[in-house]
Structure 1
Amino acid sequence: MFQVDLIEKCKRNDRKAQLKLYRKYCDAMFCVANRFMKNTFDAEDVMQEAFLRAFQKLDQYNGEVAFGAWLKRIVINKSIDKLKASKYMISVDDIQLEVVEDDDWTVDDHISLEEIKAAIDQLPEKYRYVTMLYLMEGYDHQEISEILNISQTASRTQLMRGKGKLKELLKHKRNGTRH
């Protein structure tokens, strides 16, 4: 069955089509939610809430982007909403910000992906979200600003500061022998 047909059936509340669409995307969307939630139970809750929201708002899906990308954005928004509900998220005052672009994300070859992910988890919340959305989810600053409801300048600044903190955290890996 073509995806367009499947989505059209879902729009008509065809439960079998909804189940097919759910099965097609549930594993990938769980992975996205789990990167944010760090807890399988919360990630499953977020994923379920995201699918419910997607099925409720399916009439708003217009096909401009791939369905998976549209659904992923809902999962990310639900993840961030759940995290915000449990903690206060501080916003940055855009007026006093100056951004210097630095696209060098290289790290020592001896540092593992797991160590990088663990270091990202240690970042302050406002830097962690932007860093995850940029590095792990591949969003640009315009998309991040829309998702987090911050300016593009704030997105760039938080990414730059998060990157600096991330480099500091990774510098102390391998028993502090790296400089």
Structure 2
Amino acid sequence: MKPTNQNIEQLLQLCQSGNQRAQLEIYNRYNKAIRIVKDSFKAEDIMQESFLTAFTKLNTLQDTNLFGAWLKRIVVNNSIGYYNKAVKQNEVSLDSVIYKVEDANGINENEQNSEKVKLILDAMKTLKPNYSLGLSLHLIEGYDYEEICEIMNISYANCRTLISRAKESLRQKLLLKAS
């Protein structure tokens, strides 16, 4: 299907009325923007579930200009839900779940290829799972403390402490690698 010149507002209105072409256009525009889960098959499942959720709850979106951020939040929440479920079943480690986030505020592929970024991301994988998750949400995805509290289901004080300790742990690991 060839992309249309319709703006996002028009497409979202068509999606609300059940227009499948508009839904496909939205999917094609946004489906590669966010990838958190490393397993490509599971990532595709989570992405499709997220789009289904977005399309069924589109009427709750108050500002269509925020669709991309709203969709990103749905994908992140679904990915974290997958991670939490997998952890309860002892199936996967955090470093196999968090893969990359590509958007205007995240790390793009050029930066990801730099040695410093690789060093930091590798060091983050060696942190405790909750430290790694908290830092990823805060530093890579740009969520504030309140949002992280909601996502991780922790108090504000615990969130600040977790992020602070995670940063210090990351600093220590980076210092050890540098020496």
Please state which band the TM-score falls in when normalised by the shorter chain: 0.7 to 0.9
Shift of 1:53: 1.3
Aligned equivalent of 1:84:
84
What is the alpha-carbon distance in structure 2 between the residues aligned to residue 113 and residue 133 of structure 1? 16
Quick one: which of 8, 13, 18 aligns to 1:8? 13
* Corresponding residue number in structure 2 for 1:63: 63
Report the counterpart of residue 156 of structure 1 in structure 2: 160
From 162, 172, 175, the counterpart of 1:171: 175
Deviation string for 1:91-142 (max 9, x for gaps)?
Answer: xxxxxxxxxxxxxxxxxxx961011111112221211111011100111101
TM-score (norm: length of structure 2): 0.77
Q: Counterparts of 2:64 and 2:16 in 1: how far apart (Å)? A: 17
Contact 1:111/1:173 (8 A) holds in 2: no
Report the more deviating stretch, 67-76 or 41-50: 41-50
Asked if 1:144 corresponds to 2:138, the answer is no
Q: Return 5+ residue gaps in structure 1 as ranges.
A: 89-109
SS in 2 for 1:150: coil
1:124 maps to: 128
1:107 maps to none
Return the offset for 1:65: 6.1
Q: 5+ residue gaps in structure 2?
A: 1-5, 89-113
The 3 A distance-change label for structure 1 pair 153 and 170 is: same
Classify the secondary structure of the residue corresponding to 2:18: coil
CA contact (8 A) 1:127 1:162 kept: yes
CA distance in 2, matches of 1:15, 1:142: 35
Considering only aligned residues, what root-mean-square deviation do their CA atoms show, in Å?
1.8
Give distance in 2, aligned partners of 1:17 and 1:8: 9
- The one-letter amino acid paired with 1:55 is F
Higher strand share: 2
User: Normalized against structure 1, the TM-score is what?
Assistant: 0.77
The 8 Å contact of residues 12 and 64 in structure 2, kept in 1 or not, is answered as no
Residue 21 of structure 1 corresponds to: 26
Counterpart residue identity of residue 58, structure 1: L
CA distance in structure 2 between the partners assigned to 1:131 and 1:53 by the alignment: 26
Shift of 1:64: 7.2
Task: Indicate if the aligned counterparts of 1:11 and 1:59 stay in contact, CA closer than 8 A.
Answer: yes
Residue 172 of structure 1 and its aligned partner are, at CA, apart by 2.3
